[in-house]
């Protein structure tokens, strides 16, 4: 009698795969029974989207109703007008009869900083009622260097400001293709220098500064940390890279597995890089191919957050591994069943809230260590 796949699935679920892997770090999110079930289904169907967490599925279903067009078939101007995952969260909340208003308890102030390409906006998030000076987190948004802005990525800095009791400075930077690489990295460093010089004017402590970036922003925070080391600037206390664009190899296993996933897939990433680089030679520049070419010695402690269903999963893994191999500290957290852009969705996706809380804890620990003059243990 032939054993068919459904029986194999039942066997997998009944076996030791339901147990948490002993290879996972103590602070690594442990897969639930549902996570293991979804993974087994995915192994049978061959589709990463079969692994979707139910909370994540609700958001993607809401986004589908907004009818976004395929980014690789659009001009940059058209792509910037498409509905975003943040729009999908608001749509889902409205469907549930819940408020889509921003997280309360955080005040904002808009200002600007100077770059080589003129001025760029920054938005300063401060917990209401907090007594300064407060630690500062410099935040860089995602969007593949091409789309999105600080308005699109409003949820993360609000959550971090409130959770970490810190001032969060959300940074805008020039976008490609109007400003080609390395304009984005240059602006990111200029913003960091501006924060160090001006932190006291907005209630921040320039001696307690961390970096946090999502996707393209994950690239930028890593480059700022490298530049701070090389230029002898004040070293960030901690760096958080959330599903970072850390390499230009689009043939990694996670790229190959996520050719048609939502909201990000391989073709979209190829389009982002095509819009960003001046020539193909730029793809080998260590500021883009961080995990392939950059010197990662002597960096501050990192937290790297990744999503299971994401072409950038292997970029994040490789960044954490490379930092450790260079003698640095890196805490790696991979969240099963969620996709790119899940971070910042803590009000609707439970694993996003877990990730945000973990990052807040890492930042608080880093700032506390800075206050006492101690060093965090190596992970």
Q: For residue 13, what pLDDT band results from cuts at 50, 70 and 90?
A: very low
CATH numbers and ranges of domains, the chain: 1-17+25-46 (no CATH), 106-372 (3.40.50.1820)
Query: In this predicted model, what pLDDT tens digit does every residue of 49-91 receive, in sequence order?
Result: 998 999 999 999 999 999 999 999 999 999 999 999 999 999 9
Beta strands in 243-329 (DSSP E): 302-309
User: Which entry of 187, 310, 314, 315 is annotated as an active-site residue?
Assistant: 310
Whether 30 shows a pLDDT value over 90: the answer reads no
What pLDDT does residue 157 have?
98
Please state the rounded mean pLDDT for residues 3-22: 35
Query: In this predicted model, what pLDDT tens digit does every residue of 197-229 receive, in sequence order?
Result: 999 999 999 999 999 999 999 999 999 999 999
User: Which entry of 55, 254, 340, 362 is annotated as an active-site residue?
Assistant: 340
Whether 32 shows a pLDDT value over 90: the answer reads no
Torsions phi, psi for 171 (to 5 deg): -105, 130
Q: Say if CB 366 and CB 60 are below 8 A apart.
A: no
Catalytic status, residue 340: yes
Q: Does residue 42 or residue 95 have the better pLDDT?
A: 95
Is beta strand 167-171 parallel, antiparallel or unpaired with respect to 118-127? antiparallel
Query: In this predicted model, what pLDDT tens digit does every residue of 301-310 receive, in sequence order?
Result: 999 999 999 9
Catalytic status, residue 47: no
What pLDDT does residue 256 have?
97
User: Which entry of 187, 215, 314, 315 is annotated as an active-site residue?
Assistant: 215
What is the Cα–Cα distance from 262 to 148, expressed in whole angstroms?
Answer: 17
Plot region of 2 (φ>0 → left; ψ -120 to 50 → alpha; else → beta): beta
Q: Is this structure's pTM higher than 0.85?
A: yes
Q: Does residue 30 or residue 140 have the better pLDDT?
A: 140
Q: For residue 313, what pLDDT band results from cuts at 50, 70 and 90?
A: very high
What pLDDT does residue 47 have?
72
What is the Cα–Cα distance from 195 to 237, expressed in whole angstroms?
Answer: 14
Query: In this predicted model, what pLDDT tens digit does every residue of 158-199 receive, in sequence order?
Result: 999 999 999 999 999 999 999 999 999 999 999 999 999 999
What is the Cα–Cα distance from 330 to 214, expressed in whole angstroms?
Answer: 16
Catalytic status, residue 215: yes
The three-point CA angle 60-61-65 to 5° equals 110
């Amino acid at each position: 009698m032939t054993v068919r796949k459904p029986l194999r699935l039942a066997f997998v679920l009944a076996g030791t795969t339901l147990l948490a892997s002993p290879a996972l770090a103590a602070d690594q999110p442990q897969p639930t029974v549902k996570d293991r079930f979804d993974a087994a289904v995915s192994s049978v169907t061959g589709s990463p989207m079969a692994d979707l967490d139910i909370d994540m599925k609700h958001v993607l279903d809401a986004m589908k109703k907004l009818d976004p067009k395929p980014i690789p078939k659009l001009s940059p101007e058209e792509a910037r007008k498409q509905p975003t995952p943040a729009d999908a969260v608001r749509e889902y909340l409205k469907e549930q009869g819940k408020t889509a208003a921003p997280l309360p308890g955080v005040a904002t102030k808009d200002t600007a900083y100077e770059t080589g390409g003129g001025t760029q906006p920054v938005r300063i998030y401060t917990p209401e009622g907090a007594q300064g000076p407060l630690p500062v987190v410099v935040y860089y948004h995602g969007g593949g260097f091409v789309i999105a802005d600080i308005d699109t990525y409003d949820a993360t800095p609000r959550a971090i400001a409130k959770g970490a009791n810190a001032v969060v400075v959300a940074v805008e930077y020039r976008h490609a293709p109007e400003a080609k690489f390395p304009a984005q990295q240059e602006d990111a460093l200029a913003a960091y220098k501006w924060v160090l010089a001006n932190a006291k004017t907005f209630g921040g402590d320039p001696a307690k500064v961390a970096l946090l970036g999502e996707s393209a922003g994950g690239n930028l925070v890593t480059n700022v940390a490298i530049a701070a080391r090389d230029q002898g600037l004040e070293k960030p206390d901690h760096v958080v890279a959330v599903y970072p664009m850390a390499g230009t190899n689009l043939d990694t296993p996670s790229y190959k597995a996520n050719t048609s996933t939502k909201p990000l897939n391989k073709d979209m990433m190829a389009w982002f890089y095509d819009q960003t680089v001046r020539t193909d030679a730029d793809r080998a520049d260590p500021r883009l191919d961080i995990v392939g070419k950059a010197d990662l010695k002597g960096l501050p402690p990192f937290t790297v957050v990744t999503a299971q269903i994401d072409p950038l999963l292997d970029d994040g893994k490789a960044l954490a591994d490379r930092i450790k191999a260079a003698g640095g500290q890196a805490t790696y957290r991979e969240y099963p069943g969620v996709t790119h852009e899940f971070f910042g969705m803590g009000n609707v996706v439970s694993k996003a809230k877990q990730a945000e809380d973990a990052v807040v804890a890492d930042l608080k620990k880093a700032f506390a260590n800075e206050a006492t003059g101690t060093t965090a243990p190596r992970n």
